[in-house]
Chains A and B, each alone.
Chain A
Amino acid sequence: MSAAVTERQNPASAGGGAASRKLTERVFRIRESGIIAVLVVFVAVTASIQPRFIDQANIQFLLSNTTVYALLALGETMVVLSRNVDLSVGSVLGLSAYVSTNLFGHHPGLPIPVVFLAGLGIGLVCGIGNGLMVAIGRVPSLVVTLATLYIIRGIDILIVGGNEVVAQTLPNSFINIPRANVFGVPYLAIVIAVVIGAGAYYLRSFRSGRELYAIGSNPEAARLAGIPVGKRIFTAFAVSGGIAGLAGVLWAAQYQTIDSTAGTGYELTVISAVVVGGVAIFGGSGSAVGAAVGALLLSTIASALNVLGISPFWDQAIAGFLLLVAITLDRVISLRLMAALRQRSSGVGT
């Protein structure tokens, strides 16, 4: 689509380069801490109106609710970093949620890890399909995942028919997964936080992780530099699919009633979370931790609407609006940054 933010930067000298990098880093740090500041202010204001917002039960519910979005956001971050998009996450979540937990009904006493593996497997198959079509078919990911969004949902509808999985068929130990907690913090939230931390570390410090940033900043340059672009993009989609499959199982444990509409429209929330969390929609910049904070912000807003007695009908409009605000803000910031860098490098040059 459009040129990446970093594409046209050409620092005039080595000294200018180091200084520019410092400025760039500082701006991105401000961008990420800005989201945390917004989150804190938002929580404080809501809590001052309705103290119930920060009682233990609500925080616990909010955190376990965030886990699903934050997980999806991790997979989506990998895809968006490579200047692609995965619109099929909500459908993958729905398919995995039904098919994997339906196993409990057919095989009572099935060990829970098997169900998670089933969810992971379903997600991987979907993600691999997306990845193959994007990487080998050279078709824009937007078109591929727009199609698979509805194809996977259609398959889900055919499989589910008029049925649904209900709480009675699910073992208690499964239902309790999102509810087990230590000092009011769900275990699950801790586990997911660790997973996201690991994902962020991988993207930041491993060669193949860094290569996703390179691909997103400039796909052509990445190819010329010898980066296996197709392979990396394929992996990003496979991981995103696998994660959506796992998230489906967690979703099922959280909501316990699973029909063919599970996860409908989640792609909007997840992409909003990723972009609000500071991952550039052009690819090439942002972090998994930022995306997770974005997910936390969005589910905090949804929860606040609920607590303040505002209709949940506002959720979707807010997610869409925040997405637009975030990409506009990022664009304005990066234009300012580029102007500043240009001025600085020309100053150093003369």
Chain B
Amino acid sequence: MSGVAGLFGGEPLLSVRDLEVQFRTDAGSTTALRGVSLDVHPGETVAVVGESGSGKSTTAAAVLGLLAANGAVTGGEILFDGQDVVRLSPAEMSRLRGAQIGLVPQDPMSNLNPVRRVGAQIVEALEDNGVARGADAQARTVELLEEAGLPDAARRAQQYPHEFSGGMRQRALIAMGLSARPRLLVADEPTSALDVTVQRTILDGLTSLTARLGVAVLLITHDLGLAAERADTVVVMYRGEVVEKGPAREILQNPQHEYTRRLIAAAPSLASRRIAIAKETGDVEVAAQDLLAPSLGEGVTTAPVDAPAVADAGARPDAIVEVEHVTKVFKLRGRGLFSRSTDFTAVDDVSFTVPRGRTVALVGESGSGKSTVARMMLGLTEPTSGTIRFDGVDVGSGRDRAAEVTFRRRVQPIFQDPYASLDPLFTIYRTIEEPLRAHRIGTPAERRDRVHALMEDVALPTELLRRYPGELSGGQRQRVAIARALALEPELVVCDEAVSALDVVVQAQILHLLADLQSRLGLSYLFISHDLAVVRQIADVVCVMEKGRIVEQGTADAVFDEPQTEYTRTLLDAIPGRTLELGV
């Protein structure tokens, strides 16, 4: 865990001084890093925190000498063990990498060579770094994999990456990064692509291993909570510059820079029921751009959210969605020519309701069946048994064409990846207008007014309407996706990991926007997420799913404050920085 910076006196192992990095693009060069300075002492863990585009990953790449081809160090120096690595030849740098400076990359799915056995990929690293050869290297590889916490390492070493789970791959990458016993390990978002519970065990393993080996760690992360929990020193970066650095706890409890405060406010792992409480207290005048909006300070508590009390409920049922004993069984095709297919129960006897105007969250790890529930809710997949009623009408029963169209209007999805869910060849205007046209709503002039109003709703400038998705940031795209979903004035919005692909600060903005829209338009949300911290900010009711079943459901406060099952507790414990105190 964290220590005191003073512990690591003496000469720094890595000293970045006034680093400037530029990238050449078609539009001229852009400066990605400006005057970045930081020190890492032997054995110390330094976390670099910031959103994407802050320059944290560029800093890591510069230290490794692995900047993209159009990038170059244009000023300052990177002293590793007193030697300026910027001035090293490619061959000298290649010798330094692996042997002296290791890397644990971000995405375990894409960072292993898919066509070579996992073991062989470590063996070749050992050989090229001159650590061991042949049979020695093989034996060492198994030791390294064991050390990184991979069970049954000898057999696993003979397998290919596609036969590994995400967590196993990340262990292999950790073993690889540490294989030549480097003195500095650059860990670039080492767990952000993993499930929360896996994240925690991997991080624990990494922390204890590097501590035991005395390896200094440069931890790159977007999550301030994680940084504070794992690092001795935290460096906060914003738009290519270091805005604040110091001992982890000090930064967290007494942030000096405005951006650090925003980051703390936005960090999902540190957040409490900010939005939900704001909603309850009627303090929902949340300007979507305002990151610090309804800042509550400590000690604010309100009554837990309970029975929905929405004004317009009238004679209609209180619940907009009723899911009763829904089960979904998939047939898995057998491997061979004649082998029989086997059944896989993705969703197992799931029941819950979504109260009108409220948010119900389904949380769980990958494979828990939450996305299958979302697909059934959207009418994209038929349940094997059980019923889903939308506003009292069975979703699964054979609807005619007209009923189908009406249903589609009233239920809209927002998906995870704003990069993939917008047609790259459509302008923003066409993207948002499309559902209106598809449902033949309004005249062209009316549709134009509606699109402009929607842009206002999601706090986007109308100038963007002529642009293409490729020209927008991730947050802007997700706002477009929300505008598109709202175009048909739906009653239920199914958000399938709608903020998971976004940076923390942007995530907070989108969550505020969703909360704001809900209170203004009376929307109901089914919010699917693996991220409990995010769920806590937005959900009224939480259903925890594990292996296709709902293992626990209740109000957000009940689930978070008094979890009833072991599984929920594990999930909650896995949120990094949960026990840390805030300084906002």
Whether chain B is bound by chain A comes out as no
